[in-house]
């Protein structure tokens, strides 16, 4: 067979050199003039061949560019809230469950001044799927890297530090991981028996800090926050067997990320805490006469304070004990006040000698640290001094609240009920 003569129209319409075949795989030959020789008995033969010259490739490229332009235009019209709603609906559809509780006011505040930095609300089991993608080795390496970073104050001095010290953000944190609905049930149950939680305690702190941002943390918000900003800690957080341990463990992460004031929900507020926080970078509370303790029910700081890294590191070292049988001693030593007192002694060299009071105003590595003692800020009485509590409650009822106090820790002891048999387990 001879080659066909060149086309008078040029190479763009030249007959391709690749062999042509029929649908049945029969090879077609060309005659001397270049015409196809069709097999016998095939008058309606359909010849198949994919011909993609340079012009065809350009056309496909133009189509792809047009499609990308169309998608980009759609993305601009798709607002952040619409994207969040779409992702949440997608997660809900995949999980085939009811939607998780909303971020509530947490979404309004945002993380470190960036309102949309938190991810969409995620179902707890969706978060657990993401955890599986991270190996324990990855978590260990990331946690070590976090704790190894230099202990320095991470906030912007030009924005958050006055001439007399730090400026603690006006953010009030409350935690009830079981959610708002369960909180309301517990309040009503306590009202029925005349003790325990009272809604007015929480409301008093919100109203006395009306110009602050208020952040109420339930389980869905806590998981999404940790997943976005401390993903290496998620599996550890979920491994705590009791909700009280999870609630304790969340606190230092919130204050490290946001700063602000954390209060337990059994703390009543009489007046704003601003005067007690002025000029400080870290504010803590002692509750015993010996003044060698630090509670984790009342605390405040600027974001990024190095004290929280020390707390987080110590919690990680105490994890094995917290995974076993949980009693009050385990809670106090794994995530609670005993752990805080031990870490503070390590953090403040001036407080290390035995017999030295933790209470006072300290300078630690350039950081202003205030520790308030018994009779000031939120602790008028030791937790087990019943006569003192009776007398103070009477004084409050009569409107006689001492000036050194911003509020009153009521010591409802609800956390003790969560570690008893049948108490609230971590979800």
3-state secondary structure 201-251: HHHHHHHCCCCCEEEEECHHHHHHHHHHHCHHHHHHHHHCCEHHHHHHHHH
Give the model's confidence band at 392: pLDDT under 50 very low, under 70 low, under 90 confident, else very high: very high
- The domain in which residue 244 lies consists of 153-172+194-214+240-419
Specify if 406 maps to a domain.
yes
The continuous run of DSSP H or E covering 187 comes out as helix 180-193
User: Do the beta carbons of residue 154 and residue 229 sit within 8 Å?
Assistant: no
At 359, which CATH number?
Answer: 3.90.550
What pLDDT, on a 0 to 100 scale, did the predictor assign at position 347? 93
Which tens digits make up the pLDDT trace of 115-151? 334 434 344 445 555 555 678 888 889 898 888 876 5
Specify if 383 maps to a domain.
yes
Reply yes or no on whether the pLDDT at 190 is more than 80.
yes
Specify if 207 maps to a domain.
yes
Q: Which two tokens stand for residue 220?
A: 């869905």
Higher pLDDT, 158 or 393: 393
Which tens digits make up the pLDDT trace of 285-305? 999 999 999 999 999 999 989
Specify if 403 maps to a domain.
yes
| 97-111, 299-313, 408-422, range with the lowest pLDDT | 97-111
When divided into structural domains, the chain yields a total of 1
Specify if 45 maps to a domain.
no
Alpha helices in 134-169 (DSSP H): 136-148, 157-160
Give the model's confidence band at 50: pLDDT under 50 very low, under 70 low, under 90 confident, else very high: very low
Reply yes or no on whether the pLDDT at 422 is more than 60.
no
Helix (H, G, I), strand (E, B) or coil at 374: coil
Specify if 76 maps to a domain.
no
Reply yes or no on whether the pLDDT at 1 is more than 60.
no
Mean pLDDT (the chain, rounded) = 76
2's CB contacts (< 8 A; 6+ apart) are: 32
Which tens digits make up the pLDDT trace of 317-376? 988 766 666 677 888 899 999 999 999 999 998 888 878 899 999 999 888 999 999 999
Reply yes or no on whether the pLDDT at 48 is more than 90.
no
Q: What span, in angstroms and rounded, lies between the C-alpha atoms of 84 and 295? A: 38
311's CB contacts (< 8 A; 6+ apart) are: 252, 339, 340, 343
Higher pLDDT, 19 or 193: 193
Which tens digits make up the pLDDT trace of 206-252? 999 999 999 999 999 999 999 999 999 999 999 998 899 999 999 99
266's CB contacts (< 8 A; 6+ apart) are: 197, 201, 409, 410, 411, 412, 414
Specify if 4 maps to a domain.
no
Specify if 280 maps to a domain.
yes
What pLDDT, on a 0 to 100 scale, did the predictor assign at position 80? 44
Give the model's confidence band at 26: pLDDT under 50 very low, under 70 low, under 90 confident, else very high: low
Percent of the chain with pLDDT over 70: 63
What pLDDT, on a 0 to 100 scale, did the predictor assign at position 132? 54
Reply yes or no on whether the pLDDT at 111 is more than 90.
no
Most confident of 249-253, 380-384, 400-404: 249-253
């Amino acid at each position: 067979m001879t080659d066909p003569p060149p086309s008078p129209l040029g190479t763009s319409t030249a007959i391709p050199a690749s062999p042509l075949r029929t649908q049945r795989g029969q090879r077609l030959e060309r005659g001397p003039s270049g015409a196809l020789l069709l097999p016998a008995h095939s008058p309606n033969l359909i010849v198949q061949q994919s011909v993609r010259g340079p012009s065809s490739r350009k056309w496909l490229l133009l189509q792809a560019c047009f499609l990308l332009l169309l998608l980009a235009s759609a993305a601009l019209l798709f607002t952040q809230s619409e994207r969040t709603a779409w992702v949440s609906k997608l997660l809900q559809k995949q999980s085939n469950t009811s939607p998780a509780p909303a971020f509530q006011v947490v979404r309004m505040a945002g993380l470190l001044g960036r309102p949309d930095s938190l991810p969409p609300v995620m179902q707890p089991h969706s978060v657990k799927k993401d955890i599986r993608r991270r190996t324990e080795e990855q978590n260990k390496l990331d946690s070590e890297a976090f704790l190894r970073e230099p202990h320095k104050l991470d906030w912007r001095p030009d924005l958050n530090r006055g001439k007399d010290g730090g400026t603690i953000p006006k953010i009030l944190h409350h935690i009830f991981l079981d959610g708002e609905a369960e909180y309301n049930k517990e309040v009503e149950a306590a009202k029925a028996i005349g003790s325990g939680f009272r809604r007015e305690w929480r409301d008093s702190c919100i109203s006395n800090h009306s110009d602050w941002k208020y952040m109420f943390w339930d389980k869905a918000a806590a998981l999404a926050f940790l997943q976005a900003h401390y993903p290496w800690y998620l599996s550890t957080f979920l491994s705590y067997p009791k909700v009280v341990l999870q609630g304790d463990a969340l606190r230092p992460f919130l204050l490290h990320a946001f700063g602000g004031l954390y209060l337990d929900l059994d703390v009543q507020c009489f007046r704003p805490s601003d005067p007690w926080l002025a000029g400080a970078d870290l504010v803590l509370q002692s509750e015993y006469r010996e003044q060698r303790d630090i509670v984790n029910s009342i605390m405040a700081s600027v974001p990024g304070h190095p004290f929280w890294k020390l707390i987080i590191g110590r919690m990680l070292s105490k994890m094995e004990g917290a995974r076993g049988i949980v009693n009050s001693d385990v809670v106090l030593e794994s995530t609670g006040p005993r752990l805080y007192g031990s870490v503070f002694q390590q953090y403040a060299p001036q407080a290390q000698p035995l017999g030295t009071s933790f209470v006072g105003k300290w300078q630690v590595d350039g950081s202003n640290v205030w520790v308030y003692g018994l009779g000031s800020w939120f602790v008028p009485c030791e937790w087990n001094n019943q006569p003192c509590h009776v007398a103070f409650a009477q004084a409050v009822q009569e409107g006689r609240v001492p000036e050194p106090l911003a509020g009153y820790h009521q010591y409802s002891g609800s956390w003790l009920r969560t570690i008893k048999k049948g108490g609230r387990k971590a979800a």
